[in-house]
């Protein structure tokens, strides 16, 4: 028989929620409800989530009206302790029976081993769903990722914003509860201007349709986002153009409106003389407008704004948006004109007054450290040392320009523009623009070798400085972006094929800090842990495991590129049919050598074939001799994959050796020689990775 089900709706109505976290809050609310339903053993169907600036809502389809009945089987005290000598129940028996809601006479008995115990078997009726829902909703709200909760009125409820209404509807039945200080009901609210009246939700299934039809609210965040995207495309296409649709801005604008209405606006074409990045920052970052390009990709003197109302006079709304953006563009033009009156290099001394970190000095001090470190990196990139040094010297100068003061996100970008206008070389200007790359996971990498040297040096100086003052990242706290910087250095080295001695560069960066609290080894270990995350959390290497990483880490490669080559070689080796046997052999050899740590071991070059007693020894010796020179040459050239495939041929002689030969022979010379063969084999593999770490 199919259990009875109803749909369930939970809506929390609030004052305007923070747009940048709306999607995260919505997902977390739905996930929290799903988790609570699972823990309460309440079967259900699809879960849909809704979020607007004034509400978080979740619709659960086909939610069971009660928990399923549960078969109970509880073992009680031993029979010997449950009854006295006269066969009367003891307190142990009566207490157990009371806890089960039964009489002692109704309890069964079960034998386990040598003892016999009292046993209760029964059926516990499931709790009704309406009784469980208030607690489930409250727990989900309490678990939301809210950085800072606020209070309002005279109550003690806390939430991200003041709560104004709560809907808890199970089928057509209101679930009575007080959530965040508000009594639940079935009354929602529409758009603040188009539908300010209450809307009665008769049943959960009609929720989204009612809000749209009666309240002028599109409850689905994804639907609003798509309406903004398609509306912007259509509006621009009407003019034969296309909007610049930033995914982040689409998310933010969708979280700012409940009834999106895209509108085309324009501005004075003279502002097109500003750098593209300045125009985009003004329109996109300051005004939340979408810039518009022509078919050739050049910005036009127009934009798309998204209104939250459907006005009877759209021309007035358009004019209002144009009026707001005009002074912003005028300010940007003033900053651009003012900044160009002075060469970028003339601002270098001003960096002495800009603090990087109180204990680490000014931005000028950081620039001087970076010059030296970037020159060292340049030796590995092939970049011209003088260009790298000049780029490092000017890299932070745009921090004291008017434009970057207004648009901090344009640091580096504006420095590159000003450097070109000052007549600096293209290599220097490009490196200044690339110094912060990559800014985030998946971001592009520097395209020039001069930019690579500057980016690596700047990041290593930051990491070393932060470690020196004891402010390394902890939990979610990472104010200097050390995690991002560490991953950036590693990505540059690996993905661009850059050969650098990371240990040496870290040591140089740490030694240059004004505070001597940084351990180069500690910094290396931290960066290697970021490298672990790079492999395990991404898809850089198929079949990657933490054991593979640890097997390579044993060798502590100084070069991230070398580390990567070993990782890939080992991952490929483990796909070979010989891999399991040779991995097991390496583990066995490691254990034997550890147990015989104090025993003499014959070097491979000193092996005396006359001491061999079995053919299996001779065959292993011959195979090792053949591999020794060939594999050594491959390893020298870091051709780890070829070396590992060559070593796979050792499987047969190694297996035969262990089947026929007793390593710990009574005669010391024979024992030393056999240990020497095993050590030689282990060392050949160890040059790439420690196979004994696999499968541990």
pLDDT at 460 over 60: yes
Confidence of residue 1 (pLDDT cuts 50, 70, 90): very low
Average pLDDT for the chain: 93
For residue 306, tell me if it sits in a domain: yes
Q: What is the pLDDT of residue 196?
A: 87
Q: What is the pLDDT of residue 468?
A: 94
For residue 22, tell me if it sits in a domain: yes
Confidence of residue 597 (pLDDT cuts 50, 70, 90): confident
Both 431 and 443 in one domain: the answer is yes
Both 534 and 582 in one domain: the answer is no
Of 215, 238, 271, which one is at a domain's C-terminal end? Answer: 215
Closest by alpha carbon to 540, among 461, 636, 442? 442
Both 359 and 417 in one domain: the answer is yes
Both 236 and 270 in one domain: the answer is yes
**The total number of structural domains that make up the chain:** 5
Q: What is the mean pLDDT of residues 402-418?
A: 97
Compare 83 and 543 and report the one with higher pLDDT: 83
pLDDT tens-digit profile of 175-232?
Answer: 999 999 999 999 999 999 998 899 999 999 999 999 999 999 999 999 999 999 999 9
Q: What is the pLDDT of residue 3?
A: 62
Both 296 and 409 in one domain: the answer is no
Of the chain, the end-to-end C-alpha distance in Å amounts to: 49
For residue 569, tell me if it sits in a domain: no
Residues 6 or more apart in contact with residue 307 via CB below 8 angstroms: 257, 260, 261, 262, 263, 317, 321
Least confident of 23-37, 88-102, 448-462: 88-102
pLDDT at 328 over 50: yes
- Backbone phi and psi for residue 342, each to the nearest 5 degrees, phi listed first: -125, 140
pLDDT tens-digit profile of 336-348?
Answer: 999 999 999 999 9
DSSP structure string for 443-511: PPPPSSHHHHHHHHHHHHHHHHHHHHTT---BTTB-TT-HHHHHHHHHHHHHHTT----HHHHHHHHHH
For residue 565, tell me if it sits in a domain: no
For residue 566, tell me if it sits in a domain: no
Strand partners, 10: 58, 168
Both 266 and 357 in one domain: the answer is no
Both 42 and 162 in one domain: the answer is yes
295-414-439 Cα angle (round to 5): 85
pLDDT tens-digit profile of 248-300?
Answer: 999 999 999 999 999 999 999 999 999 999 999 999 999 999 999 999 999 99
For residue 553, tell me if it sits in a domain: no
Q: What is the pLDDT of residue 71?
A: 81
User: Is this prediction's pTM over 0.95?
Assistant: no
pLDDT at 137 over 50: yes
Both 193 and 326 in one domain: the answer is no
Q: Coil, helix or strand for 109? A: strand
| Contact criterion met (CB below 8 Å) for 402 and 339 | yes
Give me the sheet containing 242-243, strands edge to edge.
242-243, 290-293, 299-307, 261-266
Both 240 and 134 in one domain: the answer is no
Distance CA 282, CA 284 (A): 6
Both 641 and 681 in one domain: the answer is yes
| Contact criterion met (CB below 8 Å) for 446 and 425 | no
Element (H, E) at 71: strand 70-78
Compare 519 and 373 and report the one with higher pLDDT: 373
Distance CA 429, CA 451 (A): 9
pLDDT tens-digit profile of 543-583?
Answer: 888 999 999 999 999 999 999 999 999 999 999 999 999 99
Q: What is the pLDDT of residue 2?
A: 43
Integer CA distances (angstroms), 182 to 13, 25, 176, 177, in order:
10, 20, 11, 8
Q: Which residue has the tokens 């603090």?
A: 355
Q: What is the mean pLDDT of residues 102-118?
A: 90
Domain hosting 593: range is 574-693
Of 181, 196, 215, which one is at a domain's C-terminal end? Answer: 215
Element (H, E) at 179: strand 178-179
For residue 272, tell me if it sits in a domain: yes
pLDDT at 148 over 80: yes
- The DSSP bridge pattern shows strands 355-357 and 361-362 to be antiparallel
Supply the CATH number for residue 585's domain.
1.10.730.10
pLDDT tens-digit profile of 478-525?
Answer: 888 999 999 999 999 999 999 999 999 999 999 999 998 778 999 999
Q: Which residue has the tokens 């809210």?
A: 146
Both 163 and 148 in one domain: the answer is yes
Q: Which residue has the tokens 């539908």?
A: 195
Supply the CATH number for residue 392's domain.
1.10.3210
Q: What is the DSSP letter of 351?
A: G
Q: What is the mean pLDDT of residues 369-382?
A: 94
Both 489 and 527 in one domain: the answer is yes
Strand partners, 199: 188
Q: What is the pLDDT of residue 407?
A: 96
pLDDT at 475 over 60: yes
For residue 42, tell me if it sits in a domain: yes
Closest by alpha carbon to 503, among 495, 493, 517? 493
Of 215, 231, 263, which one is at a domain's C-terminal end? Answer: 215
């Amino acid at each position: 028989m199919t259990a009875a089900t109803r749909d369930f709706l939970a809506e929390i109505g609030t004052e305007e929620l923070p747009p940048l976290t709306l999607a995260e809050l919505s997902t977390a609310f739905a996930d929290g409800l799903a988790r609570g339903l699972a823990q309460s053993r309440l079967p259900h169907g699809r879960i849909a989530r809704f979020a607007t600036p004034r509400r978080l809502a979740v619709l659960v389809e086909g939610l069971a009206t009660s928990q399923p009945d549960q078969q109970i089987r509880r073992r009680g005290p031993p029979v010997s302790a449950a009854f006295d000598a006269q066969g009367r129940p003891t307190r142990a028996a009566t207490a157990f029976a009371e806890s089960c809601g039964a009489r002692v006479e109704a309890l069964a008995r079960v034998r386990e081993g040598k003892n016999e115990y009292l046993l209760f078997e029964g059926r516990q009726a499931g709790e009704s769903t309406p009784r469980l829902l208030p607690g489930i909703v409250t727990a989900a709200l309490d678990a939301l990722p809210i950085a800072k909760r606020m209070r309002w009125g005279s109550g003690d409820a806390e939430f991200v914003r003041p709560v104004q209404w709560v809907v808890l509807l199970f089928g057509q039945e209101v679930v009575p509860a007080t959530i965040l200080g508000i009594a639940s009901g079935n009354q929602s609210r529409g758009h603040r201007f188009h539908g300010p009246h209450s809307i009665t939700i008769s049943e959960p299934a009609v929720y989204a349709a009612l809000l749209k039809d009666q309240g002028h609210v599109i409850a689905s965040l994804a639907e609003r986002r798509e309406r903004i995207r398609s509306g912007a495309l259509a509006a621009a296409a009407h003019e034969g153009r296309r909007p610049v649709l930033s995914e982040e801005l689409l998310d933010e604008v969708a979280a700012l409106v409940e009834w999106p209405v895209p509108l085309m606006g324009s501005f004075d074409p003279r502002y097109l003389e500003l750098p593209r990045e300045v125009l985009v920052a003004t329109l996109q970052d300051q005004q939340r407008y979408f810039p518009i390009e022509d078919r050739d990709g050049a910005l036009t003197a127009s934009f798309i704004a998204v209104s939250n109302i459907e006005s009877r006079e759209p021309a007035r709304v358009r004019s209002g948006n144009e009026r707001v953006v005009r002074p912003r563009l005028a300010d940007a033009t003033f900053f651009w004109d003012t900044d160009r009156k002075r060469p970028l290099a003339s601002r270098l001394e001003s960096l002495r007054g800009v603090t990087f970190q109180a204990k680490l000095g000014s931005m000028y001090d950081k620039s001087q450290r970076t010059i030296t470190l970037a020159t060292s990196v340049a030796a590995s990139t092939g970049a011209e040392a003088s260009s790298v040094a000049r780029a490092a010297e000017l890299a932070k100068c745009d921090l004291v320009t008017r434009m970057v003061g207004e648009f901090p996100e344009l640091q580096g970008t504006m420095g590159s523009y000003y450097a070109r206008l000052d007549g600096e070389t293209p290599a220097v200007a490009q490196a200044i623009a690339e110094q912060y790359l990559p800014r985030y996971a998946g971001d592009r990498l520097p395209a020039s070798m001069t930019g690579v040297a500057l980016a690596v040096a700047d990041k290593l100086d930051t990491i070393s400085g932060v470690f020196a003052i004891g402010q390394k990242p902890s939990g979610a706290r990472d104010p200097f972006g050390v995690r991002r910087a560490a991953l950036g250095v590693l990505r540059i080295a690996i993905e661009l094929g850059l050969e650098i001695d990371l240990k040496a560069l870290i040591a140089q960066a740490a030694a240059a800090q004004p505070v001597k609290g940084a351990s180069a080894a500690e910094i290396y270990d931290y960066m290697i842990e970021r490298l672990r995350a790079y492999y395990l959390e991404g898809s850089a290497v198929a079949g990657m495991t933490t054991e593979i990483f640890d097997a390579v880490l044993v060798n502590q490669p100084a070069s991230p590129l070398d580390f990567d080559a070993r990782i890939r070689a080992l991952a490929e080796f483990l796909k070979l049919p010989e891999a399991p046997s040779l991995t097991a052999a390496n583990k066995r050899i490691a254990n034997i050598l550890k147990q015989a740590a104090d025993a003499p071991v014959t070097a491979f070059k000193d092996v005396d074939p006359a001491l061999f007693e079995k053919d299996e020894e001779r065959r292993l010796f011959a195979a090792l001799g053949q591999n020794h020179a060939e594999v050594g040459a491959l390893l020298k050239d870091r051709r780890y994959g070829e070396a590992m495939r060559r070593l796979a041929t050792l499987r047969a002689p190694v297996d035969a050796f262990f089947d026929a030969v007793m390593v710990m022979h009574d005669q010391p010379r024979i024992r030393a020689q056999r240990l020497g063969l095993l050590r030689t084999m282990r060392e050949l593999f160890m040059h790439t990775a420690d196979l004994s770490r696999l499968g541990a």
